[in-house]
Structure 1
Amino acid sequence: MKQIAVISFTKKGAELNKKLCRGLILSDTVLLGFSMEKYMDEKEEKTLDSFTSIHKLMEELMKPPAEFECLSGLVFIGACGIAVRAIAPYIQNKAKDPAVAVVDEGGNYVISLLSGHLGGANELTKQVAAYIGAVPVITTATDTRKVFAVDSFAVKQALYITDTAKIKVISGALLNDEKIGIYSEYPVSGQLPAGLGHENQSKGICISATEGLQPFHFTMHLLPKNLIVGMGCKKGVEPEIMYNRLQKIFSEKGLRMERICKLCSVDIKKEEPGLLKLADKLGVDFQTYTVKELQQVSGSFTASAFVENTIGVDNVCERSAALGSGYGKQLIAKVSGEGMTLSVYEKEYQINF
């Protein structure tokens, strides 16, 4: 579940904060409201948490494991200057920074301040503005010029950008009316946006699971996030052990962890702390299936009599990954060790313009 912190500094701002936290519905997202303590109304149902110092609040939000990169967004209700000073110590890069938007306390304007494309600030700005009847202020050049934005495209198509520094080269070329090539190992449907072409170009984007491909002199690689990890474990396995084990196996198989889009298991493990924390660290959904659902999965799997006698199904990791991927392609068969089993499947993928 994603989290967005909404922070206000005045009485009027607190009212707008409560309106957002009580009514704005965002997919798979929880809004956490924070108001200056002196503007809290103790008689009302508590919607907001209080703070006395914005710097201390930011430090609290930043404490592990709630690192800055784990927040999907921040909405400041107040002056842009306050927001800039508050986030300045925690800004890292395009790949890690969350969406940051600023709303004036009158609710007239919503400004996309940081991570407009990859972090989703532009989309967040539009959603907040639509809900409160404000004007969205978006200043990214590709949006104002209505030019194809490769980073927005990557977010919408569930693609991982291997080198975010190349975004500005591709975007800069498009803004200068240069043609950009596109190469994809996966099916492409729909009409290509203006500026993109399949013909040979000096610069282009490559959508592939193979990072070594260089279809263009300057190639920007986009990897599909279409890997499903199925996992079973003993009770109490630490998430760090799970993560390190997964990382080691992915490295051995030449796969990128950033391609993982879902973690799956059996429903008796739906409250297992290690699996929940692993999914959170990976930034993916954790989906579980009943024993009956797993029993009904067709295919050839590595059976375990012990597991079957214990929970009622002969395999958890492969069956759950197969089901979670929609019966995709098995990339890693069952691997056991350190109190866990895991398997990886690749689901079908295509680009939709």
Structure 2
Amino acid sequence: MKIAIISVSDKGRKLAFDIKEKLDTDSTVIRCDLFHKNVKKYFNLAFLEYDAIIAIMASGILIRSVAPLIESKVTDPAIVNIDDNGNFAISTLSGHLGGANKLTQKISDLINATPVITTSTDVNKKLGIDVLAKDLYLSIDNTNEILFFNKSILQGKEITLSVNPKKNIDYLNDYLRNNTLEINVSTVHSSKVNPDEIHASADGHEMVLKEKKIVVGIGCRRGKECKYILEGLTKSIKDLNIHKSRINLLTSAEIKKDEKGILKLSDYLDIPVEFVDLEKLKLFESPDVQKSEFVKSKFGIYGVCEPSALIMAGFDSKLIYKKTSYDGVTIAIAISK
């Protein structure tokens, strides 16, 4: 998640620095930038360039600033509103698909604020269909149906999830087991469902949830054993609450194509691995990739795990886990659009 923090007062600016310092240590936060005053200019920028906005200001200033920019719950960034004293963190926009509710809780924990979340499913301790899609990195084919499904969930109606019988859905079963709360949900098999899809139905309405491609980029020292690479990967997906069966691909640079630890990991997890040509890595550019002069001096490229993950996740993909080191192993995770 790329986060912009916008403040208007000196006290708010101090709080913004404090929040940024804490978020910079979080591997799931790809970038965190600070902006002060000139709110109209910076909200226009943040709506286009960032996944989330933390607005440290009075709610009136926030509402008047963003009202002309709001378009859709599918595309609008998450917005969390915080007062200058850091007493309250309020999920204000895109609570589910944008992730504002979860970000509100994260920020509240960091600064010891009281989280304020008002979405109906959350306050009634129900799991929204859009929350399930967001948490499992699934796209929704018809977002107009979200309201109907969530109303059905609130009313206690049964939600049926149809999956392909040949697909490993351990990630879905694990998620439902830990997160369904009071939702009335059942899972059935259907050969009509594509392996990368989950078909949701409720009271005559249907919705298709499709897996976005999750790619784990790996870098490691020569000869690193599989168990140590696995430890790094396990810690990374735990931070994201991703089940290992949800990973679609492992990747690294072609200079690692004979690395036994990576090849063995692919076999152990039963997840394919692909290696990216050095020429592609040399040409690849992204403002979100961390550049290593050491790697550049040895291999002629600025990085391995981040650019490899982004390239293999496809055009317009984005990092959801920045390069993180684990004793000779680096892990980055990208997701397709």
- TM-score relative to the length of structure 2: 0.59
2:117 is matched with 138
Correspondences of 1:331-346 after superposition (within 5 Å)? none
1:266 is matched with 277
1:241-299 deviation line (CA, Å, top 9, x unaligned): xxxxxxxxxxxxxxxxxxx9999733453352467798796233499xxxxxxxxxxxx
1:56 has 2:55 as partner? no
Which amino acid counterpart does residue 266 of structure 1 have in structure 2? D
**Aligned-pair identity (%):** 28
Deviation at 1:29, TM superposition (A): 2.2
Q: For the structure 1 residues 74 and 280, does the alpha-carbon distance in structure 2 shift closer, same or farther, using more than 3 Å as the test? A: farther
Deviation at 1:22, TM superposition (A): 1.8
1:167-225 deviation line (CA, Å, top 9, x unaligned): 1100001112222222122424243553333379xxxxx88546999897311110011
Deviation at 1:151, TM superposition (A): 1.0
Q: For the structure 1 residues 118 and 212, does the alpha-carbon distance in structure 2 shift closer, same or farther, using more than 3 Å as the test? A: closer
For 1:194, which of 170, 182, 189 is the aligned residue? 182
1:225 has 2:204 as partner? no
Secondary structure of 2:126's counterpart equals: coil
Q: For the structure 1 residues 267 and 126, does the alpha-carbon distance in structure 2 shift closer, same or farther, using more than 3 Å as the test? A: farther
Deviation at 1:20, TM superposition (A): 1.0
Q: RCO greater where, 1 or 2, for CA within 8 Å and sep 6 or more?
A: 2
Deviation at 1:134, TM superposition (A): 0.3
Q: Which runs of 5+ in 1 are unaligned?
A: 37-52, 63-67, 201-205, 231-259, 288-323, 326-353
| 8 Å contact from structure 2 (residues 5, 56) kept in 1 | yes
Which amino acid counterpart does residue 217 of structure 1 have in structure 2? G
1:159 is matched with 138
> What is the CA–CA distance in structure 2 between the aligned matches of 1:265 and 1:35, rounded to whole Å?
41
1:85 is matched with 64
- TM-score relative to the length of structure 1: 0.57
| 8 Å contact from structure 2 (residues 78, 99) kept in 1 | yes
Q: For the structure 1 residues 196 and 213, does the alpha-carbon distance in structure 2 shift closer, same or farther, using more than 3 Å as the test? A: closer
Q: For the structure 1 residues 127 and 265, does the alpha-carbon distance in structure 2 shift closer, same or farther, using more than 3 Å as the test? A: same
2:18 is matched with 19
Secondary structure of 1:100's counterpart equals: strand
Deviation larger for 27-36 or 139-148: 27-36
Q: Which runs of 5+ in 2 are unaligned?
A: 218-247, 252-274, 287-306, 322-332
Q: For the structure 1 residues 215 and 119, does the alpha-carbon distance in structure 2 shift closer, same or farther, using more than 3 Å as the test? A: closer
Q: For the structure 1 residues 131 and 164, does the alpha-carbon distance in structure 2 shift closer, same or farther, using more than 3 Å as the test? A: same
Deviation at 1:130, TM superposition (A): 0.6
For 2:88, which of 103, 109, 112 is the aligned residue? 109
2:76 is matched with 97
Q: For the structure 1 residues 161 and 217, does the alpha-carbon distance in structure 2 shift closer, same or farther, using more than 3 Å as the test? A: same
For 1:127, which of 106, 116, 130 is the aligned residue? 106
Deviation at 1:131, TM superposition (A): 0.6
Which amino acid counterpart does residue 32 of structure 2 have in structure 1? L
| 8 Å contact from structure 2 (residues 97, 131) kept in 1 | yes
Secondary structure of 2:84's counterpart equals: coil
| 8 Å contact from structure 2 (residues 158, 184) kept in 1 | yes
| 8 Å contact from structure 2 (residues 125, 181) kept in 1 | no
| 8 Å contact from structure 2 (residues 161, 198) kept in 1 | no
> What is the CA–CA distance in structure 2 between the aligned matches of 1:75 and 1:18, rounded to whole Å?
12
Q: For the structure 1 residues 11 and 271, does the alpha-carbon distance in structure 2 shift closer, same or farther, using more than 3 Å as the test? A: farther
| 8 Å contact from structure 1 (residues 73, 99) kept in 2 | yes
> What is the CA–CA distance in structure 2 between the aligned matches of 1:126 and 1:143, rounded to whole Å?
12
> What is the CA–CA distance in structure 1 between the aligned matches of 2:187 and 2:19, rounded to whole Å?
47
**Based on CA coordinates, which of the two structures has the bigger radius of gyration?**
1
> What is the CA–CA distance in structure 2 between the aligned matches of 1:215 and 1:103, rounded to whole Å?
37
Deviation at 1:105, TM superposition (A): 0.3
| 8 Å contact from structure 1 (residues 129, 135) kept in 2 | yes
Structure holding more helix per residue: 2
> What is the CA–CA distance in structure 2 between the aligned matches of 1:198 and 1:10, rounded to whole Å?
50
> What is the CA–CA distance in structure 1 between the aligned matches of 2:283 and 2:152, rounded to whole Å?
48
Deviation at 1:140, TM superposition (A): 0.5
2:271 is matched with none
